[in-house]
């Protein structure tokens, strides 16, 4: 450690007081098992207890407010609230800042999830759902090729049918990035001219009358052009 033989020394990470207070607060909430509705100490109390200015406390709390973890009222003070899991993610889903690798990986994430939902679709599909899905397909301009909006409508309905709102919201957030990656980094002309071997209607029939495995095979064919090439397939 006496010379530069082992490369540049890494600078010590110096956290601002705001960073520290944020962490302390989150730990405090977890350790004391705060639940939605529970009252939180007020800003002045916190500033005193933590020996920092009220500004620092407010900057830290502003972060938690953005995440939906807390809610503030005049005179009553602050309470714990149930956060939305994806608020933070939604705010950084900007293709100009995410980096190429991340964008590609988000693209794949959508594929992973499309391939993973069959069991839940079959467990929770209803006649009403199926009828609505069929109606969506019937509204397509062409039965063989779907526009972007039609893709969103069809797949969005599938996500809804899983009965898992968290999944639906996650996948819905990923769609614009999927589109962006597709548009920016692949050759769109090939795909728009190619008829999809498995149509939305085919998938509908598999969902209505088939098994999860059959549906999954169909979905894989529907999305085949997006998957990495494998040696065994």
Partner DNA sequence: TAATTTTATTTGTAGGACAAATATATAAAT
Partner DNA sequence: ATTTATATATTTGTCCTACAAATAAAATTA
Q: Is 109 in the site for a second copy (CB under 8 A)?
A: yes
| Closest to 45 (Cα-Cα) out of 23, 77, 72 | 77
- Shortest Cβ distance from residue 129 to a second copy (Å)? 14
Q: Which of 1, 9, 97, 195: binder of a second copy (CB under 8 A)?
A: 97
Residue (45 or 213) nearer to a second copy, CB: 213
Q: Is 83 in the site for a second copy (CB under 8 A)?
A: yes
- Binds 147: which of DNA, a second copy, none (CB < 5-8 Å by kind): none
- Give the span between the Cα atoms of 176 and 163, in whole angstroms: 22
- Binds 160: which of a second copy, DNA, none (CB < 5-8 Å by kind): none
Q: Is 56 in the site for DNA (CB under 7 A)?
A: yes
Partnered with residue 191 across adjacent β-strands are none
Instruction: Write the CA distances from 75 to 39, 42, 43, 78, 148, integer angstroms.
Output: 12, 10, 12, 9, 49
Partnered with residue 72 across adjacent β-strands are 78
- Binds 2: which of DNA, a second copy, none (CB < 5-8 Å by kind): none
> 39, 29 in Cβ contact below 8 A?
no
- Give the span between the Cα atoms of 68 and 91, in whole angstroms: 13
> Which residues are near DNA by CB under 7 A?
14, 16-18, 42-44, 51-56, 58-59, 61, 65, 72-78
């Amino acid at each position: 450690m006496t010379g530069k033989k082992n490369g540049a020394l890494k600078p010590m990470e110096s956290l601002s007081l705001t960073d520290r207070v944020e962490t302390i607060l989150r730990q405090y909430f977890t350790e004391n098992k705060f639940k939605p509705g529970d009252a939180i100490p007020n800003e002045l109390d916190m500033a005193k207890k933590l020996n920092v200015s009220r500004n620092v406390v407010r900057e830290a709390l502003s972060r938690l407010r953005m995440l939906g973890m807390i809610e503030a009222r005049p005179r009553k003070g602050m309470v714990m609230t149930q956060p939305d899991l994806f608020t933070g993610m939604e705010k950084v889903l900007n293709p100009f800042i995410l980096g190429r690798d991340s964008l590609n990986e988000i693209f794949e994430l959508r594929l992973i999830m499309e391939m993973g939902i069959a069991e839940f679709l079959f467990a929770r599909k209803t006649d009403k759902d199926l009828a609505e899905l069929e109606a969506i397909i019937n509204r397509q301009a062409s039965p063989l090729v779907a526009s972007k909006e039609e893709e969103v409508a069809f797949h969005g309905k599938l996500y809804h049918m899983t009965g898992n709102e968290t999944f639906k919201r996650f996948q819905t957030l990923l769609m614009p990035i999927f589109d962006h990656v597709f548009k920016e980094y692949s050759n769109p002309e090939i795909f728009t001219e190619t008829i999809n071997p498995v149509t939305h209607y085919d998938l509908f029939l598999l969902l209505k009358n088939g098994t999860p495995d059959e549906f999954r095979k169909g979905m894989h064919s529907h999305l085949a052009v997006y998957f990495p090439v494998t040696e065994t397939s």
